[in-house]
Amino acid sequence: MLNGFFRTVLPGLLACVLVGCSPGGAGEQAGGLAGDVAVAELPRQAQETLELIRKGGPFPFRKDGAVFGNREGHLPKQPRGYYTEYTVRTPSERDRGARRIVAGRGQSGNPSTAGEYYYTDDHYNSFRRIRE
C-alpha cells in the first residue's frame, strides 16, 4: 500500500511543490478547467439553458442568475459578482440537480452577450469552457 503511494501520489505532490498546482488538481488546464466542450456536444437541456441566458430569460428556477462565488477556484480568478449561475434541467431529478452553466460578464459586463460560459455536470467539481 505504501509502495502505491510513492508511485502515484508522491510524484504529483512533488510537482506541485516545484511548479505549483491548480486548485482542481492534476490533469486540468490552467484556471482549473477540465478542457472545453462544443455547444453541439452539450446535453439538449444545457443547450436550452444557454439559449435562455443569451435571451436574458425568463429562467425557470428562482436561483438562476445568482452570483457564483467560484470559492473552489476552478474558474479563472475574477472579482466577486463576475460569474452568475444557471440551472441545467436533469430529467431524472426532482430538484435542481447537479448540472449548471456559469456565465462570466466578459468585457460587455452582461452574461447574455459576453460569450464566456462554463458547463459543469458534477455540481462545481469540474468545469469545461463552452466553445461556440
Cα separation of 102 and 104, whole Å?
Answer: 7
The answer to whether residue 132 scores a pLDDT higher than 90 is no
74 catalytic? Reply is no
End-to-end CA distance of the chain: 45
**Which of 41, 93, 123, 132 is labelled catalytic?**
123
> E strands, the chain, where?
36-38, 66-68, 83-87, 100-104, 117-120, 128-131
Spell out the domains of the chain, with CATH numbers in brackets.
33-131 (3.10.450.30)
Query: Among 5-19, 40-54, 78-92, whose mean pLDDT is lowest?
Result: 5-19
Exactly one of 85, 93, 116, 132 is catalytic; name it.
Answer: 85
* C-alpha distance from residue 115 to each of 23, 53, 103, 107 (Å): 24, 10, 8, 10
123 classed as catalytic = yes
Kindly report, residue by residue over 43-73, the tens digit of the pLDDT: 999 999 999 999 999 999 999 999 999 999 9
Full-model pTM: 0.76
